[in-house]
Amino acid sequence: MGILDEDVSRVRDQTDLVALVGDYVALKRVGQRFAGLCPFHQEKSPSFSVNAELGVYYCFGCQSSGDAITFLREIEHLDFPETIERLATRAGITLRYDDKSHQRDKSRRSRLVEAVEAAVVFYHQLLVESPAGGAARKYLRGRGFGGDEARQFRLGFSPEGWDDLSKTLSHDNKFSRDDLVEAGLAFVNKANRLQDQFRGRLMFPIFDARGEAVGFGARDLVGEGPKYRNSAESAVYQKSRLLYGLNWAKPEIVARSEVIICEGYTDVMAYSLAGAPNAVATCGTALSDDHVRMLKNLTRRVVLAYDADSAGQGAAERWYKWEQELELEVRVAGLPLGRDPGDLWRDDQPALLASITEAKPFLAFRIDRALAAGDVSTIEGRARAATMAARVIAEHPSELVRDQYALQISESLSLDLDGVRHQITQARTNPIPASAPGRPIANQENEDESPLPPPPVDRREVDILRWVIHDPALVQDWIDASLFIDPTAREVFDLLIEHPDLHEAIAVSDGNARRLLERLAVEEPEVDDEPQTLAARLMVNTVEPVAKRLTDRALRSDDDRASEAKSQLDSLAHARELGEWVSAQNSAKELLRWVIKESARLNEPAGSVE
């Protein structure tokens, strides 16, 4: 990037997060924080919270979280340097750069983009003007695309020669050998000569969201080698963060509140030319988290325009996860079996547009496919079809959704509802292994297991962590790691001790600990007592459960050392019931000494005590 880390920190610290968020969200003060409707998902009740003092935000609905940099980057779809530069201008900060690295990186990227753009021009001229592009033009005509479409999407043709592109772009030293190799346009062969990366292929230029040329998808025309080849990963081409056609489709996606995700480049062209220019496609890779999170900032409605087999065999668990986490509405285009969007563009354009308007919910589509594969004319056939449909339904994480589809299957197949529900329950209890016969395996290497929801953390431990973050002086004299039974709470505590700066703690955390940290950052501790009573109550409520657990263990082992702790616990409980918090705190102090010693003696955290 080139911007000094110190200046990145200055930008973060000197940005008024409330003012920044207020440019996009109507915020209302609630106690010491500000709340409003989340800009990252649709909601009717405010769940978006901003902590002005710590400079962080958190949504209790969609779990979006971060600081000023994260917020602007997500809401404006910017890259990191652009975000820092915008915030710096807003805060009146003059950024300093590591001149060498900044100039080198910026210049290098510009040089590579320039080289790819030159290749786009070279390939395009060959396609539309040269006899050498005849085979590519013939292929396009066969798909229903003519010269106008080739020009609109800047299609091209890579010649058969070993180094035609390399010689043209190297002419007069315009681009060096390193430029062409790093841009993914050529490679050095065994003879130590430049050789073109793409030869004899129809070329689909790929642009980033800003419209800069960064790579190619190349289709074979003669049946030699893989059907498609894509540019290699480079400083400008990262396929997991690129979507073909997004540079054209972005405004249409926002305007229509819908994105169409296709499998191929010609599919995107077909939808766009038919009147649905909000279509995109991945660039030779499976859809990733980065792709989906990028799109969810533009729209929450997704239509999968895959052929029927691919849509039915997709990574269902991933889509259900994305549906839940990102609040997406996922549908599947109603494409006829064995037909892709390119086929319909050529033969039946009204049907192509109808495939979007008639798109079905993802699960409904998969159930229809399961039922269509069976013979429902006999009782046995209906039972087998119901079993297959039950396996599909069982994968959905929502019990309510599963039950509604169980009712639908029962009615459509004239089968007993309880029997269908039993089949679904059995399928959830004993799912078909990934390698078992009958389970689709397409894209299996890209599937992730749906994560289980994070287990709840003891509210008393969450409460004390809240104070560690927001008012550490209240607890710092006595708080100790041995007081945290829950492993997530213990991990959060350790992070806060090791990284007193909350932003640093969040940055190095992950998983459940990160989610808990982000939530606690915007949650205010409840101040319902005067300071002395509050401090006593916090200590008592934190120490008592751990001391009781250790004491019970010691008593089961006939350990005489537990008798004094048991006596202190009884005194603490009695004082607490009477509301005598100072007396209860004195007992808690004695118990805390015992807890620390006992935990050390057992050489294990208190959380592992049974």
Note whether 79 and 25 are same-domain residues.
yes
Most confident by average pLDDT, 148-152, 323-327, 456-460, 546-550? 148-152
User: Are residue 316 and residue 442 in the same domain, yes or no?
Assistant: yes
Which CATH number belongs to the domain containing residue 171 in this structure?
A: 3.90.980.10
Local structure of 58: helix, strand or coil: strand
Which conformational region is residue 499 in: left (phi greater than 0), alpha (psi within -120 to 50 degrees), or beta?
Answer: beta
Q: Which of 340-344, 345-349, 350-354, 366-370 has the highest mean pLDDT?
A: 350-354
What is the predicted pLDDT for the residue at 608? 41
CA dihedral (278, 282, 286, 289) in degrees, to 10, reads -60
Does position 86 have pLDDT exceeding 50, yes or no?
yes
Q: How many CB atoms lie within 10 A of CB 443?
A: 14
Same domain assignment for residues 442 and 551: no
Q: In the predicted model, what is the mean pLDDT of residues 444-468?
A: 61
Is the sign of the CA dihedral 47, 48, 51, 52 positive or negative? negative
CA 205, CA 156: separation in Å to the nearest integer?
A: 8
Percentage of the chain lying above the pLDDT 70 cut: 90
Q: 361: exposed, middle or buried (C-beta count within 10 Å: 0-12, 13-18, 19+)?
A: middle
If asked whether residues 82 and 196 sit together in one domain, one would say no
Instruction: Judge contact between 50 and 21, C-beta under 8 A.
Output: yes
Domain extent for 19: 5-91
Per-residue pLDDT reduced to its tens digit, 64-74: 888 999 898 88
pLDDT at 295: 87
For residues 334-350, average pLDDT: 83
Answer with the residue of higher pLDDT: 173 or 522: 522
Residue 18 belongs to domain with CATH number: 3.90.580.10
Residue 454 domain-assigned?
Answer: no
Could you tell me if 408 and 276 lie in one domain?
Answer: yes
Q: 178, 203, 237: which is the final residue of a domain?
A: 237
140 & 17 share domain? no
- The answer as to whether 565 is a domain residue is yes
The confidence score (pLDDT) of residue 203 equals 97
Q: Are 414 and 490 within one domain? A: no
Q: 74 near 63, Cβ under 8 Å?
A: no
Would the pLDDT of 62 be above 90?
A: no
For residue 453, the model assigns a pLDDT of: 46
Better pLDDT: 604 or 155: 155
- How many beta carbons lie within 10 A of that of residue 199, not counting itself? 17
196 CB contacts (<8 Å, ≥6 apart)?
A: 158, 161, 162, 163, 164, 165, 166, 185, 186
198 assigned to some structural domain: yes
If asked whether residues 198 and 284 sit together in one domain, one would say no
pLDDT at 254: 82
244 lies in some domain:
no
Mean pLDDT of the chain: 83
pLDDT value for 245: 95
**Residue 278 pLDDT > 90:** yes
How sure is the predictor about 94, in pLDDT bands with cuts at 50, 70 and 90? confident
Sign of CA dihedral 481, 487, 491, 492: negative
List, in sequence order, every residue forming a beta bridge with 34; answer none if it has no partner: 29, 50
Residue 302 falls within a domain, yes or no? yes
Find the mean pLDDT for residues 202-218. Answer: 93
Q: What is the pLDDT of residues 404-422, one digit of tens each?
A: 988 988 888 888 888 888 8
- Residues 571, 587 contacting (CB under 8 angstroms): yes
- Please report the pLDDT score of residue 446 as a whole number: 35
The total domain count for the chain is: 4
Q: What pLDDT does residue 281 have?
A: 94
Confidence band (pLDDT; 50, 70, 90) for 137?
Answer: very high
* CATH for 300: 3.40.1360.10
